[in-house]
Amino acid sequence: MSKKAKLDYRIRLNASIDCIRFLLHQGLAFRGHDESVESENQGNFMELLKFLSNHNDDIKKVVLENAPKNHQMMAFNIQRELTSVCAHLTTKKIIAEIVRDKQSFSLLVDESRDVAVKEQMAIIFRYVDKIGCVIERFIRVVNVKNTSAKFLKIAIDAFFVKHGLSLTSLRGQGYDGASNMRAASCKRRDLLLDKQYENVISLISNGDLHMRRVLNNIQEELNNRFDEVNMRLLQCMSSLDPSNSFVAFNKDRLLEFAKFYPANFPQHDIWLLDDQLENYYEDVSTNANFTHVEGIANLAKKMVEFKKDVAYNKVFLLIKLAWVLPVATATVERVFSAMNLVKNSLHNQMGDDWMNNCLVFYTENEVFATIENEDIIEHFQNISKQKIVLN
């Protein structure tokens, strides 16, 4: 095949990908009711491609009626393949960030029915990024025929295996109102207690509630509501509170907190942490840059900003473990809101994979925007039967 034919093919692919980027970003349907040549409205994808070609002569020369009949790259199966590639690369990039940096993370799961009355389970990962900010990323939705705890676990296990993730890196789990938690009164009670715990942790993490105030004002209530392990975990976390020049600092409690995570803190690392905590406290409690820091969230960012995450790497790991604990989150609800937009009453027959791929982009468009068209083309070339060899 000539160099010109290959160049034309690449231009067609880029034009199709650009159309897909726009439609996914806006949460718009791709297809129309009548996509025939005679139709006045062939659907969003075709109409957008026409618009693009009418404003770019290079594209106009190689698409639509000017493209070879066997390589027009407009068929819906091509749109699906390209969309699937985009979703794959977006999810891969999110997971790679966790795996590459050996991140400990938490799993947030919720389920809801879509417009077609199918149970969908949303999977969210929560972790701390390189600058000390907590990140929640939507990974995918999984159709589950049964929402019992057993079947949810099977679906989660299968997802971890598929993406090469290890449960050993999982440091927290949150199941925000799943159907199997709405049954008996005892389960509703446990859910309410979990919600109260999540709200307290959320306020602490955001700096809206001082840990000392938690311990001083609602100690008795927490004792009544939380089991002994959760209560002790919260008490240990309180020693990370940077308020009032780290007045809540307690080395023994922080060492105890570390022992809740033996995979992260084997005995040798406990000894290292013991040494670091002494120096860390003397440093940050007298450091003007940390004088007015409030909340674990701001503490984590300050640690990175002033390179304390390197100097006291074991202490910073402890802060990250506290920061990734599951809290009440709006991310899951944002996913389900997007699902109602993407799979609405007019498009209620869309398949699970197609819906998931659209949701990944719409929800994680920030990540998708960092993926170049060339990366999409390269992956598409590796999987598509419609490809033209470009090398």
Question: For residue 160, is pLDDT > 60?
Answer: yes
Q: How many residues does the chain have?
A: 391
**pLDDT of the residue at 191:** 47
**pLDDT of the residue at 144:** 67
Question: For residue 306, is pLDDT > 90?
Answer: yes
| Mean pLDDT of the region 336-363 | 65
Listed ranges 68-82, 246-260, 319-333; the one with the highest mean pLDDT: 246-260
Q: Tell me the pLDDT band of 275, cut-offs 50, 70 and 90.
A: very high
> 138, 359 in Cβ contact below 8 A?
yes
| Mean pLDDT of the region 107-120 | 63
**pLDDT of the residue at 185:** 38
DSSP character string of 107-158: EEEEEEE-TT--EEEEEEEEEE-TTS-EEEEEEEEEE-S--SHHHHHHHHHH
**pTM for the whole structure:** 0.68
Q: Which of the 8 DSSP states describes residue 346?
A: G
CA dist list (Å): 282 to 285, 305, 307, 322: 6, 18, 16, 21
Portion of the chain with pLDDT greater than 70, in percent: 72
Side chain identity at 255, as an amino acid letter? L
What's the CA gap between 77 and 65, in Å, rounded?
Answer: 19
The pLDDT tens digits of the residues spanning 201-224 come to 555 555 555 545 544 554 755 455
More confident residue, 79 or 356: 79
**pLDDT of the residue at 115:** 47
Question: For residue 376, is pLDDT > 60?
Answer: yes
The pLDDT tens digits of the residues spanning 20-34 come to 999 888 878 887 777
More confident residue, 28 or 347: 28
Portion of the chain with pLDDT greater than 90, in percent: 20
Listed ranges 83-87, 214-218, 260-264; the one with the highest mean pLDDT: 83-87
The domain ranges of the chain are 3-89+351-383, 185-328
Q: Which of the 8 DSSP states describes residue 324?
A: T
- Tell me the average pLDDT of the chain: 77
More confident residue, 8 or 100: 8
Q: Tell me the pLDDT band of 281, cut-offs 50, 70 and 90.
A: very high
Question: For residue 194, is pLDDT > 60?
Answer: no
